[in-house]
Amino acid sequence: MPRFLRYLAPNLVTSTGLLFGLLSLVATSDGRFVDAGWFITWAVMLDRMDGLVARTFKATSPFGVQMDSFADAINFGVAPAFLVYTMLSAVPALGFTDGFGRGLLLGACALWVLATVFRLAKFNVVAESESSPDVFLGVPTTLAAGLLVIWVLVLLKYTAPDTVLGNPGAFDEPRVFGELQLSVGAWSYLPAAMLLGAFLMASNLPQPKLRPAKQKLITVIIVVGAASGFLFAFLRFMPDYMALLPSTWLVIALVWSVVSPKARQIPSPPFLPDA
């Protein structure tokens, strides 16, 4: 393969993901919240693919690293924050249209974007492999944004249809949670979830990388879950199923980062220049 095409391939995947992020912003401004959520989900899937493509073609480069970070800042920082802000500020009953509630929502969205950019910048200057090749330091932006948006889609699916944010008609598919029907008040927890996500992205909590395990059954579960997640994402199918594996993994990873002696011994490398 010609050198130009070899390096073009992963950057083309990154560029396509960025286009999905921009389409999400357009869909949000048009009030098409389900479309906006799926566009971000597609960007998450492509973000997982561009690194694989780069390694497959041996086309990793500093340019690709920087381009990926700029795309991630929009796809996983700006687009999810704009989606949540637009949705919650459109429902006066939630209390986010003025006063303290409005300040809380603005602050949560702003901190989400700042934490995303901070995490991406820190990742580029800190050689995390020097601490441990098997962990991330802090929750990756892809995982944090993917979880936030997939749960937004779950809320859209399960919120009562007679409310402003309920859109179960857009999900003509099986329901993992049965006949569960949420009130619009369930959306009021999103700012708190964003604040928690911002903290986890900016933190140095060790997060084990999702890799094949020694036990074959666990490996099969991981592979099947990841493969079905990719398929369901691009088919826009069953976000409630898609939310289960990454949510479970994050909970397990957070518990491990707190209770594991190995995790507590991993140093937090500095990201600022030496004095």
* 50 touches 80 (CB < 8 A): no
Q: Where are the domains of the chain?
A: 3-264
State the average pLDDT over residues 73-99: 95
Q: Which of 112, 10, 118 is nearest to 67 (CA)?
A: 10
Q: Spelled out in words, what is the top-level CATH class assigned to the domain 3-264? A: mainly alpha
Containing H/E element for 250? Answer: helix 239-259
**Averaged pLDDT for residues 100-116:** 97
CB 149 within 8 A of CB 21: no
Query: So what's the pLDDT on residue 213?
Result: 62
Report the pLDDT value the prediction gives residue 224, as an integer from 0 to 100.
83
Asked whether the predicted pLDDT for residue 258 surpasses 90, the reply is: no
- Percent of the chain exceeding pLDDT 70 equals 92
Among 214, 198, 206, residue whose Cα is nearest residue 257: 206
Q: Which neighbouring-strand residues pair with 137?
A: 206
pLDDT surpassing 70 at residue 225: yes
- pLDDT given for residue 127 in this prediction: 55
With beta carbons less than 8 A apart as the criterion, state whether 206 and 263 touch. yes
Regarding predicted confidence, which is higher, 156 or 245? 156
What average pLDDT does range 37-64 have in this prediction? Answer: 85
Confidence of residue 133 (pLDDT cuts 50, 70, 90): low
pLDDT of residue 129: 45
Q: Residue 61: CA atoms inside 13 Å, Cβ hemisphere, count?
A: 13
Per-residue exposure over 171-201, b if at least 16 CB sit within 10 Å of its own CB, e if not: beeeebeeeeebebeebbebbebbbebbebb
Q: What is the model's pLDDT at position 113?
A: 98
Residue 94, pLDDT above cutoff 60? yes
pLDDT digits (tens, 9 = 90+) for 144-168: 999 999 999 999 999 988 788 999 9
The helix (H) or strand (E) run that includes residue 131 is none
Does residue 238 carry a pLDDT above 70?
yes
Candidate ranges 159-168, 186-195, 216-225, 242-251; pick with highest mean pLDDT: 186-195
Residue 214 scores a pLDDT above 60: yes
pTM for the model: 0.92
Looking at residue 63, its pLDDT comes to 82
- What's the confidence (pLDDT) of residue 164? 83
